[in-house]
Amino acid sequence: MAQTVISLCHQHLKKCFQTLEMTNKAWNLVLAECTPLISSLGNLGEQLRALDNVQLDLTPLHRFPDLKERLRFKLLQAVDVVLCKLTDKVDELQKLLKTLNNQVSTAFQFYEHNTDTLDLATCTLRSATSPSIADMLEWLQDAHNYYCSQFRRRKYLLQVLRPDDLVFMEEVSKRWESFYSADGEEHIEDTLSRVCLFVDS
Amino acid sequence: MATDAKTMFTMGVELQLLPCDPQDINTQRCRIGPFLMTSLRLNIGTPVLISTPGGSCLCTAWPRRDLAEGYFQFDPKCATPNFSSPTREASPFKCQNIRPLNCPKLKRVKVNVVVKSTELKKRMSSLLIHDFVKEILSGVHVHERHVITLSSFESEMTYIYIENANSGSTKAGLVTEKTCVEIAGVITVAEHRRRVAQESPTMSLGGMEDVYASLKELIHLPLFYPKTLSKLGVLCPRGVLLVGPPGVGKTMLVQSVVKEVAATLVTINGPVILGSRPGESEENLRAMFHQAQAASEEGPCVLFIDEIDSLCPKRAGSSNAPENRVVAQLLTLMDGISSRGHFVTIGATNQPDTLDPALRRPGRFDREVIIGVPTLTQRKSILECLSKKMPMSSSVDLIALAEVTTGYVGADLSALCREAALRAILHSSEGSDGKAIEMHHFHEALKRVQPSCLRSSIGLTDYKPVSWEQIGGLADVKLKLKQSIEWPMKYPESFVRLGLSRPRGVLLYGPPGCAKTTLVKAAATSSHCAFLSVSGADLFSPFVGDSEKALAQLFRQARACAPSIVFLDEVDSILGSRGDARVAHSVQAQVLSVLLNELDGVGLKTAERRGPQRKLCESEEHPGSQQEQQMEFHEVCNKDVMVVAATNRPETLDSALMRPGRLDKIIYVPPPDHEARLAILRLCTEKMPLDPDVCLEELASQTSLFSGADLENLCKEAALLTLHEQSMEASRVQQKYFNKVLQNTKPSLSAQQIHVNSCEIIFK
């Protein structure tokens, strides 16, 4: 009885880590796609500010009527397009997060339902081929928390962006970059490498 | 059964507390050894409530990575406000403090979002904030009235305060995606701190009810009746200047009022504001006013400038340009408040005279509240406040304690109580049983704690207490002194009933060596007054105007701790007579004019006001016990300084000094007569073994014209002679030695002197 529960639990955990691996790859891909978009957003911000600063009346271009407004309209349209694309990317991230969340919570639920069989002694038992259940649950929770906070921050950054706050817009790419946490990524990589034997078995 | 026994066994286990692992920060995990977890029946992820002396904290239980027992770590992500992690040095952590908690999935949760600045409110729509908070909270175990700390780089939000869970039906629970999050408000950190502080108990403050009420009203008025005020077309008073000697509780009063009305307190300290770069001080000052204004947008706010005299000295007197600029900046900022911000400015100082006069006008500091040295009733209520939390034995009589602590301010009284408590602790550790504080502990403490308003006073003297019995003879002089000094203190109700007021001053005159000084000492001992003694040496100085200033200062201090006695010994040398034409405009004449003014001047300076101005209404029924009633009489009757002067040359004194209303009781201290001499001799030989042949009666009759001092000297000489003539082993003083000494000594008084002295006043 106990053995079957443990192996079932291991099944769940294996699925979780497979999802995690997949999420990790997909997540980084999506982020890589975001980078040019973000930098173009910063560019547009710079252009908008330049437009604010320039005095068109003093240039030969003053013959064109409403040039400033038209240019601004163009630029804002471009910002809109970039933001639309970025929102799509964020949606993709959200989907990935949701899948991971589902898997992790299923694993936790399974553990909570079987706490009678899976007592702490069993859960903390480590072997040559597999880490203990407690460790794996912890890693899963850590990974999930990490992705959640990453997602929250990036989403928040895009949501507080406003076309009239040009300074903020120029800083966007810098802030976006600052969210990247080497420690967090390393932790995920570590986790994946620790469980690779267990997942493959 | 087995697990029960195990649980029982673990209840007493003490754990060593370690700081949280960096990986666990912000995960809400607590790390416990797996064996202990099993015995506490905890599973992985079970929510537990950890209670410590500093508050409580909600965590999820996880086994330690290294599976070691005996250690405990936790992350205080969800904790009570003001939660402070117990330090490792503190007593070991007990297992009983870890308690599993049932955390169902929540249907709804009501929260307050705490942000760093109000900017976030402007930038994010409420819908956005709602989504954001929901995302942050999902998957977190929350407890009502706890605070979720967000990691610093998350956003401008710092905390989320959980007001209630499931509308209050459950204490704690897990927030899921399906939980409905309701945001009650978005507040700043300062506002959050204020709300938290409001829940903690208020400080108690004794004897300041009237000042307290007026301050409170001032802060409340614009908040509760804004429309009425605008209808009347008037601006609210916005500034209060608190004036009072150090230690009366100005700062504490402000803190207490602020706490009571739940306002934000922004404090400006002079030294912190002043910077080294030019313009830095002004910048700091502007920043503080700006901060107060930002806080006032959310709720009532008080800007408190402590020790304002350091920040705003008189500009005319100093040629210090940076200082003047700071003063000018402060004045401008204070003018600017009425139009922009809505906060109350309170300044506190103990030297109102050094302030720039421009500051003390309506519009800047509209009101000036003077907090004086506490009076008798105020002292009693302060003592009541202080002793509320102390275990007092029934022997402690607070009214008696209030009576003996003349001149003590709030800080002194609290020092007194602390000292008494320390005495009590020392005594109890020595083995005697009582844990309560007894009256004798207070008496011991009284010797150690001196009133702070008398510190650095020129007149404070440490004299050996003298009782009336230690003075032989002079029965009628003693009676007169008792009448004028002791009776008003002891029987104030009789004085009030007969419409008597106590004399302003007493002049003792008589030949030298007749116990004038000792009489005053005895009077000061018997009445519990502050006793200030001053001589020419204290007053005179080579600088022009210094002596007058010193005397005025002495009287100011004496008034601050009234009822008090100012004793001027050898008054003839301190004060000259204005009639003496030879030395016009001498220092003595100047000092005399100061004294005349102090004795019977037009009135007091406003800054010296003390307590509420009380008058007794005879018709009114007095509530309270007889003791309290007497205390009230006492306070009304004895609020003045009494001047006691002694001289042996009364003829040199100015006549203006001796009229009723100034030194109105003039007592002649005669040289001792036969009876008195006998009494003095008895006192002097009390500790001397006398031979049976010694006849004091005879000695007394032989020593006419001897003063008290002469008689004392006589006894001393006789004893010395005994040692000289007999041997060092002599055990008794015989009559013959007295006679021998008597032959060699002459009385220091002459009949003529006595005649002059006794007639002097009558001629005047």
Kindly write down the DSSP assignment for every residue of B445-491, as one continuous string: HHHH---GGGTT-TTB-------GGGS-S-HHHHHHHIIIIIHHHH-
Q: What pLDDT is attached to residue B414? A: 87
CA distance A74 to chain B (A): 25
Q: Which tokens is B603 given?
A: 């009135």
Contacts of B155 in chain A (CB under 8 A): 153, 156
Q: What pLDDT is attached to residue B449? A: 81
Cβ B650 vs Cβ B762: under 8 Å:
no
Interface test with B, best of A119, A160, A167 (most B CBs within 10 A): A160
Contacts of B154 in chain A (CB under 8 A): 149, 152-153
pLDDT digits (tens, 9 = 90+) for B283-328: 888 888 888 888 777 777 888 888 888 888 777 766 677 778 888 8
More confident residue, A39 or B367: A39
Enumerate the H helices of B112-224 as residue ranges. 119-123, 126-137, 189-199, 209-224
Q: Which tokens is B411 given?
A: 């800080």
Question: What ipTM, to 2 d.p.?
Answer: 0.87
Secondary structure percentages of chain A, helix, strand, coil, to 5: 85, 0, 15
CA distance B103 to chain A (A): 13
* Least confident range of B161-170, B231-240, B245-254, B439-448: B231-240
* Least confident range of B131-145, B154-168, B571-585: B571-585
CA distance A140 to A120: 18
CA distance B341 to B344: 9
CA distance B733 to B716: 10
The count of other CB atoms within 10 Å of the CB of residue B120 is: 19
Q: What pLDDT is attached to residue A25? A: 93
Report whether the peptide linkage leading into residue B670 is cis, meaning its omega lies within 30 degrees of zero: no
Report the share of chain B in percent with pLDDT over 70.
82
Q: Looking at this protein, which amino acid is placed at residue B189? A: V
Mean pLDDT of the region B639-655: 79
User: Which range has the top average pLDDT, A172-176, B434-438, B541-545?
Assistant: A172-176
Residue A187 has pLDDT above 80, yes or no: yes
DSSP lists the bridge partners of residue B142 as B173
Whether A135 contacts chain B with CB within 8 A: yes
Residue A160 has pLDDT above 90, yes or no: no
A·B CB contacts under 8 A: 52
Mean pLDDT of the region B714-725: 86
What SS3 state is found at B621?
A: coil
More confident residue, B454 or B74: B74
Mean pLDDT of the region A41-64: 85
Quote the DSSP letter at residue B531: E
**Which one of B27, B43, B136 has the shortest CB-CB distance to A152?**
B136
pLDDT, chain B, mean = 78
Q: What pLDDT is attached to residue B619? A: 38
Q: What pLDDT is attached to residue B421? A: 86
Residue B537 CB partners (closer than 8 Å, separation 6+): none
CA distance B588 to B540: 9
Q: Which tokens is A110 given?
A: 């399974």
pLDDT class for A84, splitting at 50, 70, 90? very high
Residue of B nearest to A183 (CA): B23
Contacts of A159 in chain B (CB under 8 A): 124, 128
A58-90 exposure pattern, b = at least 16 Cβ within 10 A, e = fewer: eeeeeeeeeebeebbeebeebbeebbebbeebb
pTM greater than 0.80: no
Residue B606 has pLDDT above 80, yes or no: no
If you classify domain A2-41+85-200 with CATH, what class do you get? Answer: mainly alpha
Cα angle B39, A8, A132; round to 5: 50
Domain ranges within chain A, ordered by starting residue: 2-41+85-200
Mean pLDDT of the region B409-421: 87
CA distance B38 to chain A (A): 7
pLDDT class for B610, splitting at 50, 70, 90? low
Residue of B nearest to A155 (CA): B132
Whether A194 contacts chain B with CB within 8 A: no
What SS3 state is found at B147?
A: strand
The count of other CB atoms within 10 Å of the CB of residue B608 is: 16
Helices and strands, counts by H and E, chain B? 30, 24
Mean pLDDT of the region A70-84: 91
CB contact under 8 A, A112 and B123: no
pLDDT class for B621, splitting at 50, 70, 90? very low
Strands B29-32 and B344-349: unpaired
What SS3 state is found at B530?
A: strand
Residue B36 has pLDDT above 60, yes or no: yes
Residue B578 CB partners (closer than 8 Å, separation 6+): B589, B592, B593, B654, B656
CA distance B743 to B647: 30
Mean pLDDT of the region B47-73: 86
Q: Which tokens is B704 given?
A: 């006419």
Cβ B31 vs Cβ B72: under 8 Å:
yes
Q: What pLDDT is attached to residue B278? A: 83
CA distance B52 to B568: 62
Cβ B138 vs Cβ B175: under 8 Å:
yes
Residue B493 has pLDDT above 90, yes or no: no
Q: What pLDDT is attached to residue B191? A: 75
CB contact under 8 A, A149 and B151: yes
Q: Which tokens is B51 given?
A: 């209670």
CA distance B636 to B47: 65
Closest CA relative to residue A19, chosen from A190, A135, A197, A188: A188
Whether A138 contacts chain B with CB within 8 A: yes
pLDDT digits (tens, 9 = 90+) for B680-701: 888 888 888 887 887 888 888 8
Residue of B nearest to A141 (CA): B27
Closest CA relative to residue B58, chosen from B136, B142, B176, B116: B142
Q: What pLDDT is attached to residue A100? A: 92
Mean pLDDT of the region A148-158: 87
Cβ B567 vs Cβ B531: under 8 Å:
yes
